[in-house]
Amino acid sequence: MNPHFTALEAAYQLRYYLSFKTKYLKPTLAATEAQQLAHEVLADVCERNSYHLLETDINQDHLRLLVSLQPQATVSKAVQLLKGNLQHRLGKSPISEFKLAEGYFARSTGSVDIECVRKYVDDQVSHHGYSGEWTQSLNFRNEAFTSPAFKFAHHVSVLDYQMVFVTRNRLPLFDEEIALKLFSYLLDVGKKHQFVIDRVGVLPDHLHLIFEGIPSVSALDYALAIMNNTHYWMTQKYSGVLKETNGWDVWRPSYYAGTVGEFSTAQLKSFLARS
């Protein structure tokens, strides 16, 4: 495939809860000085890499943080930088014999919990004023979806995304017939690019998706994979529709990406602040 899109504008809210533990759960962060240094390291790494540190909780044997990332950033790289700098600076300090355990826990979070977002996507057809039996074909729930969708050897990651794509000039390119085939195609795209579809909602001029991804792929890379593959698919399968509407570009070169999760950002911030 020759990518049609290489750069995109994005509206985004990408937030992740991360947890690291000390090796063998040793209380090497018990001292106030060690916790202060850990806070300084986390803040420094986030500032240098344009991460937004929303909340932290540092205890004697673990670190928990809530961080906001840009679309081009990956969770795995953020974890590598955060853990690597913590290990390097605290490990060389005279405060304690500091070592982090190999793994980590990562969970996406958002303004509302994932059940609210699922309902939002399910309700989009009626919200936009479409009604009738034909609209039943515009929503897709992946009955095979289970979470966590991916298992990893040394860490636990559950990363859920909501993405929205709008057609160029808001052209009505999709109908119920195209939608049914698009759902099947998106499942195949997910297998190739390592994401698993949870929900899809198709409107004539835009597309809503909820899916679970992996830490080593950024939101931007997922958006490019979805847009480029569906653009290619439309030109191959529905060139007549694109010719009739002059919709050859298919998508506007922009998207919305938000993380969602079992708990909202506000709930996690409150939890961390109380810990």
Q: For residue range 118-138, what is the model confidence (pLDDT) as tens digits?
A: 999 999 999 999 898 889 999
pLDDT interval class at 70 (50, 70, 90): very high
Say what the pLDDT of residue 113 is: 94
Say what the pLDDT of residue 97 is: 81
Outline where DSSP puts E strands in the chain. Answer: 9-21, 52-58, 62-69, 105-109, 139-141, 156-166, 196-203, 206-213, 254-260
Beta bridge partners of 61: none
DSSP annotation of 5 reads -
Class of the CATH-defined domain 13-108+265-274: alpha beta
Greatest CA separation found in the chain? Answer: 71
Quote the CA–CA distance of 58 and 49 in Å, as a whole number. 21
On the 0-12 / 13-18 / 19+ scale of CB atoms within 10 A, 202 is buried
Say what the pLDDT of residue 95 is: 66
Say what the pLDDT of residue 96 is: 64
Question: pTM for the whole thing?
Answer: 0.95
Locate 57 and state its tokens.
Answer: 């909780």
Quote the CA–CA distance of 115 and 242 in Å, as a whole number. 35
Locate 76 and state its tokens.
Answer: 């795995």
DSSP annotation of 148 reads S
Q: For residue range 248-264, what is the model confidence (pLDDT) as tens digits?
A: 999 999 999 999 999 99
Torsion over CA: 109, 113, 116, 119 (sign): positive
Say what the pLDDT of residue 5 is: 79
Say what the pLDDT of residue 93 is: 81
- Average pLDDT of the segment spanning 108-120: 95
Q: For residue range 133-190, what is the model confidence (pLDDT) as tens digits?
A: 889 999 999 999 999 999 999 999 999 999 999 999 999 999 999 999 999 999 999 9
Q: Which residue ranges make up each domain of the chain? A: 13-108+265-274, 109-260
Say if strands 52-58 and 139-141 run parallel, antiparallel, or are unpaired.
unpaired
Q: In CATH, which superfamily holds the domain spanning 109-260? A: Transposase IS200-like (3.30.70.1290)
pLDDT interval class at 2 (50, 70, 90): very low
Are 114 and 210 a contacting pair, CB within 8 Å?
A: yes
